[in-house]
Structure 1
Amino acid sequence: SDITTIVSFIIHSRYISQSYYSATNKNVIWGHWVEWPYCLKRCSYCNFNKYIPRSVDHVLMTQSLQRETQTLLHISQVSCITSVFFGGGTPSLAQPSTIAAVLETVSKHAQFSANAEVTLEVNPTPAGKARLRDFVAAGVNRFSIGMQSLNDSSLRVLGRDHSPQEALQTLSEARTLCPGRVSVDVMFGLPDQSEDSWQSELEEVLSVCDDHVSLYQLTLERGTHLFKQVQLGEVHVPGDDVTATMYKTARNILKKAGFLQYEVSNFARNNAVSTHNIGYWKAQQYIGVGPGAHGRFVPHSLQGVLREARTQTLEPDVWIREVQQHGHATRRQIQLSHLELLEEVLVMGLRMNEGISHQHWAEFSPEANLHQVFGVSEDFQQLQQRGHLILDDGGLRCSWEGLALLDSILPMLLLRLEMFFKKPAASAATAGRTHGQRKR
């Protein structure tokens, strides 16, 4: 490194050592997220950036997605795209020609391998099912089916516009077209859902699903219709103790069915993991295109030094106008400090069952290893003794029990991280000399 350890601790918020640059900024953007913001209706629990339009100008939307894709690929000087994810919103409402056009733009302006993962989120309605074959012809090779539930009453409370039978039909068609590359989303902690009904429902899902399952606990978001219903006592949701048991039950059932939990909410068998999402959890760079999309990459205008967090304009009409005028519609861009980037590495990395390896951490923090930052903390050692955290030659990770408690563990780790990197330079230098030779 051209910058000594003591100096890098002092000025980490503005500069990072050259070894950090070379390890993490190789002009390789692994992921490309494409946001389709439109839906036919708003679900009762959803607070995403969604719009219910009277009509959609598909030609103009396609042109805008293509242009912003081209611009951001140029700004990032990307050399390789390994995955594309079409999310939303309801991207299965987009025309297959739009999907094909965006993928063509990617291939023209970056290396886009033939085996790249291309995922499309699908709403399991008859309209969504009817277009699956055309989406595959357009270049999609993986589907994520928003099943959510196989219970009629639960779907009605959630405001979903599909039935259990339609979800099963869509899943069957998707598995025929992309065998081994179909994921299903399932929710628990739903109104009036019991532990027994959840177990029965999950077992039914496992009898028909492919090799990937995503489990999500219902979150009551302020401003949503369901939040208001619960506040007024019109709808009742299970308590925290019950949902914790539901999660534990689901993990055991999935494990017995041959699914590996590779992340807090994601389970796969036959190695059918989502390579796109793994990129998020490993804090890799990605481009976000479309209204409200988020991205994380190093613009070449900053000479390959600082990563930026970027957010695109939310409103589709305004977004289109800005793309037409400027080539992109980045509304907000923030240069991430060293500490902010390490916070993302920590929070995202511990979501995975494999955690954060020493090598991965060193790519972002060459000046301080995991033992130096966390190992000497009494709170950390207590979590180790309880069997919730593991720090060994493999790196830092949660145990099976600890993964379920991650939300309560992270605040302590984040505080420890902040204290370590904001302490006086002399203390930082001492820590480096004292613990820098610890064997991994």
Structure 2
Amino acid sequence: MIRHACLTVRRVLSVGLRRFSHVSTGEIIEDEFEWTHLSRQASLYVHWPYCLRRCSYCNFNKYISRQSNEHIMTECLQKETESLLQLSQVSSITSVFFGGGTPSLAHPSTIAAVLETVSRQANLSDQAEVTLEVNPTPVGMSKLEDYCRAGVNRFSIGVQSLQDEDLKILGRDHSSHQALQTIEEARRLCPGRVSVDVMFGRPKQSVESWEDELSELLRVCDDHVSLYQLTLERGTQLFKQVQGGQVTVPAEDVTAEMYQCARRTLDQHGFLQYEVSNFARHNAVSHHNMSYWKGRQYIGVGPGAHGRFVPLGDGGVTREARTQTLEPDVWIREVQQRGHGTRRKIQLSHLELIGSCLALSWVSVKSLVHPPRSKSYYRVDDSFLMTEGCAAPGMDWPYWTACCQLCWWSWNDKSVSSYKRTVMLMQKRRPPTHDDRNVNKADGVRESLFVG
């Protein structure tokens, strides 16, 4: 079995090598992954690091601001945006995503200032997708119209739950009623361009209550839904509560059934699953999300932001993985001194780029929605291929194991037995953790669901 699987992986790599055999010449190559090595286009991610409070489950790169420094933060976001755009020499920004943290705490003028900087350095079309994550509080909702005037044309609303008791356990600072009001207002301003985030696997949650909650959400939501499994992050308050026995979370087989239940329910409501956690109808996919999953260039701006692009301005010819300094105060000093706060950069080899592209393809819509008919899907032993995909050079192990477990549940209707078999196999041959762990948490990085 292993020998057969190795031959299959070798065949996949040989296909990848043929696809990218002309990379060294500097040509722009289009293929079925819609990926290019040297592209003049990129997406832009902007990280706002501040929150009013820390949610009990969250270990993203966020900070509780003790002083009002929005003016300085705005200037530094502009300066780093300008520096990295000049470094990348991209001619067009195809999408912008403001994440965090809680970017809906930022003044609309900050959003407008960053977008103006982008427009001065590169083409930012009027049709380009500009997304802002919104915390559905009264303050957040009151600024939605101003954000639209600033240039935002898509909202991602962190609903997380429609159960007030669960919101308190999660440490959220909004109610279910406020979330519903925010969705309504956002849909009025950006019809067809509102996404809602909802979390499953929460404390005391059952499959039946999850199904009822999802049905309620689908009565009011727009055309995009993002599902996230609650994961217990070491060092968070919720992790300590679960470890101490004060709080209990559903068993993994129950969580697996919740995921399958959500897929069925969303499908019945016309939503297409185009990525492990994202569902859309009426062609309302997130173009920014798709730029990640198609392996395109993206530039990360702000404390802890992560990016991958070719630094043509420095004479570079190879894509680099870049991570910005995490701590806002240190990042501000570095941006003021040298124009950007890049703390770490790693040149990615051609093999690493191919591995990344293959891993992305395995958890994309082609292999996720119709695996038996997918030309880019080589199924010999699911667990082995998941291991290979997760261990692809340049990938973050926790993120890919989480993604591929969701894919595994998607491929199998018998999710409980599938989950147990997957865990058993992964415990036998889990690869070592990679050093490339410092990926921006706001990009959706999740801890591994497989406990070795």
Matches within 5 A, 1:146-295: 146-295=158-307
Equivalent-residue separation in structure 1 for 2:409 and 2:255 (angstroms): 20
Letter in 1 for 2:279: F
Percent identity, aligned pairs only, is 62
Number of the residue aligned with 2:140: 128
Distance 1:71 1:227, change over 3 A: same
Matches within 5 A, 1:412-431: none
Matched-pair contact (CA < 8 Å) for 1:350–1:398: no
Equivalent-residue separation in structure 2 for 1:343 and 1:382 (angstroms): 18
Distance 1:94 1:153, change over 3 A: same
Matched-pair contact (CA < 8 Å) for 2:242–2:248: yes
Number of the residue aligned with 1:401: 411
Number of the residue aligned with 1:423: none
Distance 1:229 1:176, change over 3 A: same
Letter in 1 for 2:411: E
Number of the residue aligned with 1:119: 131
Report the secondary structure of 1:105's partner residue: helix
Letter in 2 for 1:317: D
| Deviation for aligned residue 1:295 | 0.3
Letter in 1 for 2:97: F
| Deviation for aligned residue 1:413 | 12
Number of the residue aligned with 1:105: 117
Letter in 2 for 1:298: V
| Deviation for aligned residue 1:60 | 0.9
1:83 aligns with 2:73: no
- Structure 1 residues 346-370: Cα deviation after superposition (integer angstroms, max 9, x where no partner): 22222222249xxxxxxxxxxxxx8
1:49 aligns with 2:61: yes
Equivalent-residue separation in structure 1 for 2:260 and 2:323 (angstroms): 35
Distance 1:28 1:414, change over 3 A: farther
Of residues 145, 149, 158, the one that matches 2:157 is 145
| Deviation for aligned residue 1:336 | 1.2
Letter in 2 for 1:86: F
| Deviation for aligned residue 1:30 | 2.4
Matched-pair contact (CA < 8 Å) for 1:263–1:352: yes
| Deviation for aligned residue 1:57 | 1.3
| Deviation for aligned residue 1:18 | 3.4
Matched-pair contact (CA < 8 Å) for 1:29–1:287: no
Letter in 2 for 1:194: S
Question: What is the Cα-based RMSD across aligned positions, in Å?
Answer: 2.9
| Deviation for aligned residue 1:59 | 1.2
Of residues 328, 343, 347, the one that matches 1:331 is 343
Equivalent-residue separation in structure 2 for 1:247 and 1:72 (angstroms): 39
Matches within 5 A, 1:290-309: 290-301=302-313, 303-309=315-321
Number of the residue aligned with 1:433: none
1:67 aligns with 2:66: no
Number of the residue aligned with 2:380: 381
Of residues 320, 324, 331, the one that matches 1:319 is 331
Equivalent-residue separation in structure 1 for 2:160 and 2:290 (angstroms): 22
Equivalent-residue separation in structure 2 for 1:321 and 1:381 (angstroms): 52
Matched-pair contact (CA < 8 Å) for 1:343–1:414: no
Distance 1:408 1:139, change over 3 A: farther
Q: Flag structure 2 segments of 5+ consecutive residues without an equivalent.
A: 1-12, 30-35, 369-374, 384-406, 432-452
Matched-pair contact (CA < 8 Å) for 2:47–2:304: yes
Equivalent-residue separation in structure 2 for 1:235 and 1:398 (angstroms): 28
Number of the residue aligned with 1:359: none
| Deviation for aligned residue 1:399 | 10
- Structure 1 residues 235-254: Cα deviation after superposition (integer angstroms, max 9, x where no partner): 00000110000000010000
Equivalent-residue separation in structure 2 for 1:280 and 1:92 (angstroms): 23
Distance 1:193 1:258, change over 3 A: same
- Structure 1 residues 85-110: Cα deviation after superposition (integer angstroms, max 9, x where no partner): 00000000000000000000001100
Letter in 2 for 1:181: R
Equivalent-residue separation in structure 1 for 2:412 and 2:46 (angstroms): 33
| Deviation for aligned residue 1:301 | 5.0
Report the secondary structure of 1:348's partner residue: helix
Letter in 2 for 1:326: R
- Structure 1 residues 365-384: Cα deviation after superposition (integer angstroms, max 9, x where no partner): xxxxx88xx96xxxx42449
Number of the residue aligned with 1:428: none
- Structure 1 residues 203-247: Cα deviation after superposition (integer angstroms, max 9, x where no partner): 000010000000001000000000000000000000011000000
| Deviation for aligned residue 1:302 | 5.9
Report the secondary structure of 1:115's partner residue: coil
Report the secondary structure of 2:219's partner residue: helix
Letter in 2 for 1:178: C
Report the secondary structure of 1:55's partner residue: coil
Equivalent-residue separation in structure 1 for 2:221 and 2:292 (angstroms): 24
Report the secondary structure of 2:67's partner residue: coil
Equivalent-residue separation in structure 1 for 2:109 and 2:334 (angstroms): 23
Equivalent-residue separation in structure 2 for 1:54 and 1:382 (angstroms): 52
Report the secondary structure of 1:113's partner residue: coil
1:18 aligns with 2:22: yes
Distance 1:344 1:172, change over 3 A: same
State the 4+ residue runs in structure 1 displaced beyond 6 angstroms.
403-407, 409-415
